Structure 1
Amino acid sequence: MSTSSPAGTVSARDVWATVRRRALPRRSDYAGLRGSWRGDLIAGVTVAIVALPLALGFGVTSGVGAAAGLVTAVVAGIVAAVFGGSALQVSGPTGAMVVVLVPIVHQLGVSAVAAVAVLAGIIIVVAGLAGVGSLVAYIPWPVVEGFTLGIGVIIAFQQIPLALDTTPAEGENAALIAAQTLPRVDWSAAAPAAGIVVGVVALMLVLHRVRRTLPASLIAVVVATLAVEALNLDVRRIGALPSSLPAPSLPDLSELNALLSAAFAVAALAALESLLSAQVADGMADDVPRTNPNRELVGQGLANVASGMFGGLPATGAIARTAVNVRSGARTRVAATVHALVLAVVVLVAAPLVGAIPLSALAGVLLVTAARMIDLATARSILRSTRSDGLVFVLTALATIVLDLVVAVEIGVAVAAVLALRHVARASGVTREEIAREVDHDTEEDLLHEHIAVFRIDGALFFADSRRFLDELVQVADVRVVILRLAGVRVLDASGANALAQLVADLDRRGVAVLVKGLQTRHHQLLASVGVLAELQRRNHLFDDLDAAVAHARTHVRRDRAALSDAP
């Protein structure tokens, strides 16, 4: 049975090839493992040590619980490592996702989070199979950095209730919740927790200065837990954790309409953050295959489906953990798998010990994480670059803090697109040119040239340019032929092609012929689609040489003058 299909249709073989390329693991994923397995093993253990307090902290901050954060790191970490498109990506719960989850928990309840993860995962898988992953390359750098800075600020705000052992105020916006929580704090009761936070932050900073490779967050959490036990401090702890992973089950999807909008927001963020994190990893390691962005989306989608079925949180690629993975010597996806397996052992063996960790210690770890996301040097660089980039950066950061992450990226990209279009328009131009003449020209040639207008278009052809042509022509007496020099047109879209077609039609109704010189071959199909190319070809009004176009224009003018002189 043949799987061939007519041109323009998609065959079953094509579909299977796309699925295999964008969804299925392959032997080449582990190329070089014989030489790198030791480094991958060490990197995996190192990342697990770093990831443990982060997974617990993000689980608590989301409102779902520390156990959910740990489950997410284990389940999503393994699935994304096996099916994803990056050799170095480490996945799990992240601060950016927590920012989105807090209002979802507030609106729909804790039980809805797993369902949102499954639905978001399905959406991400479809996006990966459809090839959406390649579009991340078009997100401007100021948008990414503004987004990152905003996330850092929000994570810091989210830690204030935990850092002060105080029940947070009601609401969805982290800044408002923090502002409303502070007046309610019992400072005498909050002093031990605040002291733990200060101690954790100080110890992490000192350890980072002593030796960057030390697992500062884990050491600080262990020291804080021992201090709390030794001093018998009355502070809130993580509490009991399950000693095994829960059995997988499909969450309740009965309230599908209410869940879908949240799922799309989660999917958009998971796709964006994962692809950006993979880009960071690619930039850090030159001897590792580049990320396949569409396969990465499929892997992250499957990871979210699996995490939701095990009762975990939505997951994404984690930039900080991925960076630690690369710096620790990882060269294949085995390192990310080892990281998840080590965390699974923690669940099975050390759950009671983990349950004794004070929440304020996790708040201290996340405050340091948030501070490291706020890169002031990068912010200064962007603000000093151009006004447009600075505006995009500031708007994206403010929108992230005030609104939500997905809307912030949409605003940032939209503003960047408008400003880029404005820049292209300014760099483009329509210039009236004089026709070169011989030194010993005669009066007849002067008379002919008075009826010929030559315009050179550079850069991009926009719809507004057709208005400019007509405005110019209104001021020129008795023009019979317009020559458009289009060799300098680098950007031509459907709007520009339609504008050119309208211009030719408008001038034709006025009795003015339009000749086109230097039209690039790559623009032929677009102009043919709006009908103007065939008309120009039929009239022999396409030229590669300006002298030939001018000579043809003179012929037009002579013919028109002759027709007028012969008229009764």
Structure 2
Amino acid sequence: MSTSARSRSAVRSLLPSPADYRELPRSWKGDLLAGVTVGIVALPLALAFGVSSGAGAESGLVTAIIAGVVAAVFGGSNVQVSGPTGAMVVVLAPIIAAHGTGALALICVLAGLIVLTAGALRLGRTISYIPWPVIEGFTLGIAVIIFLQQVPTATGSHGHSTNAAVAAVETLLAAQWPKIGWSLLLVAIVVVVMLVSLRIHPRFPGSLVAIVIAALVAALFGLPVDTIGRLPAGLPAPVLPSFDPGAIATLLGSAVAVAALAAIESLLSARVASTLADTGPYDADRELVGQGLASIAAGLFGGMPATGAIARTAVGVRAGARTRVTAITHGLLLLVIVLVGSAVVSRVPLAALAGVLMVTASRMIALRTVRTILGASRADAVVFCLTAIVTVSVDLIYAVLIGLLVAGFFALRQLARTSGVHREELPGAAQPGDERIAVFRLEGALFFGAAERTLERVAALRDVEVVILRMSQLQLLDATGAQVVTELIASLERRGITVLVKGIRPDHREIAERVGVISSLRHQNHLFDDLGSAVAHARSHVVRGPWVR
């Protein structure tokens, strides 16, 4: 296949195709029903996430509609449902507090372009390098932040800090009666209804029923609580943000953070979704392209950056979703609600939305998973706890980076422990002079984290004339390991000790030649493929002298 043909094939693989809907003739009823179910579940979450981020309820709805449909059509998962999520709210809230809602459109477009570019560059599979403890620590930290972010709304007061924990304390200290009492009453109603609904049936739309009940209580008794307020009776017209160089320079760092989170969360969600049912594999690169386009489109319509939403995706799969029609239906249902029911939605108390997110955050914490990780190993427990703490106290992106670094350190330390150097007896019957021959077997991984420690024992040799290094059992050899072997050979040769190398693996041969392992030998005859020949040559050195080649 020519280069141009391969390029066209690569581009086509990132675009929608009729194959995306191959199962639709058999699954359309289930897809439509699942789409309605997901739409009912997504409505209160879209409103709540929009309000919690500071962008407003309208922004949350627009994101669920526009981004939900665009990501469904262009994304790489057959069942992924996208829209506003709690993790994105955690990142967006301080950005909007610092730069205002006017910067949101530009951030959406910039972040979308970054994610789109990552998909075009085929970077989707990098998500597989994030360890499980990092993912779960990240999730736990997000859940804690989402819960803390709802404290101001749940108490009917406001804090000034951009840190969720500090703002929660500030609002509790500033809360006033009786408003805090009525707000907490509505929160309690929502929590109770949602918990009871879980016992009724997993698919029961508890969050929607809870909000309806709370709104009725607030309206009937005229409670002095804040509500969503006026919503437009339709989608706003698309507006292209101003690409002012100064604004781009100011917001680029925030856009990169948003893009990183959007990519990570969407790919994690798509990966989990592919395991929930037999709905086909997901294409990680195409998923990034779809999510990038979704965030761009949402930004043009006044929305917020979108990601894949694992909770809504799971609801759809359990309700019978098999194709993208489920996510498309969910977006269209929300659009109908905006067109015909915006006046009713505007009367929903904000405290009720806070209650929904508090329950949602609590359900994100799987105690069984936490116990499993904490009991798995000390390294996993440290990575998990550190990632969660940094997520809550510092920043989500820093949390993932620090978690990866710490996990990488522990992984390298464990890998280094698998490496070793072991002295062996010479094969066959003992012969005179064998005591002046030393055979060492190198095994495991000889890389930058283990090379020096592994070969110290060989370097300390005394009273030998020939050293045989068996390298066939090495599983990993990097440039540092090869350089240490080179230096070891040179050091032994300077002391008059002949070094023979046996069994360099074919996949290690190139790096051994480039770094100098082979050229450091006294002669090319000192490189062997089998141990018997190496031992025989070593014995000839001992018997006839070191000048023997």
Separation in 2 of the partners of 1:140 and 1:464? 20
- In 2: Cα distance, 1:314 partner to 1:365 partner: 21
The structural deviation recorded for 1:533 is 4.7
Letter in 2 for 1:197: V
Q: Pick the aligned partner of 1:435 from 402, 412, 426.
A: 426
What SS class does the counterpart of residue 25 from structure 1 fall into?
Answer: coil
8 Å CA contact 1:18–1:129 kept in 2: the answer is: no
Q: Secondary structure at the match of 1:515?
A: strand
- Matching of residue 218 in structure 1 with residue 208 in structure 2: yes
- Alpha carbons of 1:338 and 1:541: their partners in 2 closer, same or farther (altered >3 Å)? farther
Partner of 1:371: 362
Q: 2:437 aligns with which of 452, 461, 465?
A: 452
1:229 aligns to what?
A: 219
**What pairs up with 1:242-257 in 2 under 5 angstroms?**
242-254=232-244, 255-257=247-249
Counterpart residue type for residue 224 of structure 1: A
Q: 2:78 aligns with which of 87, 98, 111?
A: 87
TM-score (norm 2): 0.95
Q: Does 1:179 align with 2:164?
A: no
8 A contact 1:265–1:406 mirrored in 2: yes
Structure 1 segment 481-492 matched on structure 2, within 5 A? 481-492=466-477
Structure 1 residue 66: Cα displacement: 0.3
C-alpha contact 1:106 1:171 (8 A) present in aligned 2: no
Partner of 1:302: 293
Residue 130 of structure 1 pairs with residue 121 of structure 2: yes
Structure 1 residues 560, 310: closer, same or farther in 2, change over 3 A? farther
2:410 matched residue in structure 1: 419
Alpha-carbon spacing, 1:493–1:218, altered in 2? closer, same or farther (3 Å): same
Letter in 1 for 2:432: D
Residues 135-534 of structure 1 aligned to structure 2 (within 5 Å): 135-166=126-157, 168-254=158-244, 255-285=247-277, 287-438=278-429, 441=430, 445-447=431-433, 449-463=434-448, 465-468=450-453, 471-533=456-518
Distance 1:101 1:400 in 2: 14
The range that moved more, 43-52 or 512-521, is 512-521
Q: Which amino acid aligns with 2:156?
A: D
Aligned length: 547
Give the counterpart of 1:98 among 72, 76, 89: 89
Quick check: 1:201–1:365 contact (8 Å CA) kept in 2? yes
| 3-state SS of 1:456 partner | strand
Question: Which string of whole-angstrom CA distances, capped at 9 and with x for unpartnered residues, describes residues 437-485 of structure 1?
Answer: 41xx4xxx332x2332211122110236553466334542243332222
Q: Residue deviations 1:290-313, cap 9 Å, x none? A: 111111111111111111111110
Q: Contact 1:473–1:479 (CA<8 Å) still a contact in 2?
A: no
| AA matched with 1:71 | V
Is this contact kept in 1: 2:451–2:480, CA < 8 A? Answer: no
Query: What is the rounded CA distance, in whole Å, between the counterparts of 2:276 and 2:450 in structure 1?
Result: 44
User: Following TM superposition, by how much is the alpha carbon of 1:544 offset from its aligned partner in structure 2, in angstroms?
Assistant: 3.0
Q: Which amino acid aligns with 1:17?
A: S
Aligned 8 A contact 1:462 1:499 in 2: no
Establish whether residue 17 from structure 1 lines up as the match of residue 3 from structure 2: no
The answer on 1:38 being equivalent to 2:29 is yes
- Residue identity in the other structure for 1:554: R
Which sections of structure 1, spanning at least 5 residues, go unmatched? 5-10, 564-568
Distance 1:465 1:265, change over 3 A: closer
Cα deviation, residue 244, structure 1: 1.4
SS at match of 2:445: strand
- Segments of structure 2 that go 5 or more residues without pairing to the other structure are none
- Residues of 2 paired with 1:264 and 1:464: CA distance? 32
After superposition, what is the alpha-carbon deviation per residue over 1:507-546, rounded to whole angstroms, capped at 9, x for unaligned?
Answer: 3444443322232222223323424356669703333321
Separation of aligned partners in 1, 2:52 and 2:133: 28
Per-residue CA deviation, residues 317-336 of structure 1 (Å, 9 max, x unaligned), is: 00110110111110111111
Distance 1:466 1:422 in 2: 12
| 3-state secondary structure, aligned to 2:333 | helix
SS of residue in 1 equivalent to 2:472: coil
> Hey, what's the Cα distance between the residues in 2 that align with 1:538 and 1:294?
50
- Deviation digits for residues 204-262 of structure 1 (CA, Å, limit 9, x no counterpart): 10111112211110111111111211111121110111111112122123111111100
Q: What residue number does 1:7 align with?
A: none
Structure 1: how far apart are the matches of 2:82 and 2:522? Answer: 57
CA change 1:473–1:501 in 2 (3 A) is closer
- The one-letter amino acid paired with 1:406 is I
- CA separation in 2, counterparts of 1:470 and 1:142? 33
Give the distance between the partners of 1:133 and 1:502, measured in 2 at CA. 40
CA contact (8 A) 2:419 2:454 kept: no
Q: 2:545 aligns with which of 543, 560, 563?
A: 560
Report what 1:550 is aligned to. Answer: 535
Q: Distance in 2 between matches of 1:553 and 1:53?
A: 79
Structure-2 separation of matches of 1:469 and 1:148:
39
RMSD: 2.0
Shift of the 148–232 alpha-carbon distance from structure 1 to 2, 3 Å rule, reads: same
Q: 1:467 to 1:479 in 2, by over 3 A?
A: farther
Judged with a 3 Å threshold, the aligned counterparts in structure 2 of structure 1 residues 274 and 465 are, in CA distance, closer, same or farther, namely: closer
Give 3-state SS (helix, strand or coil) of 1:177's partner. helix
Deviation at 1:366, TM superposition (A): 0.4
Deviations 1:83-132 (A, max 9, x none): 11111110000000000001111221111122111111111111112121
TM-score, length of structure 1 as denominator length: 0.92
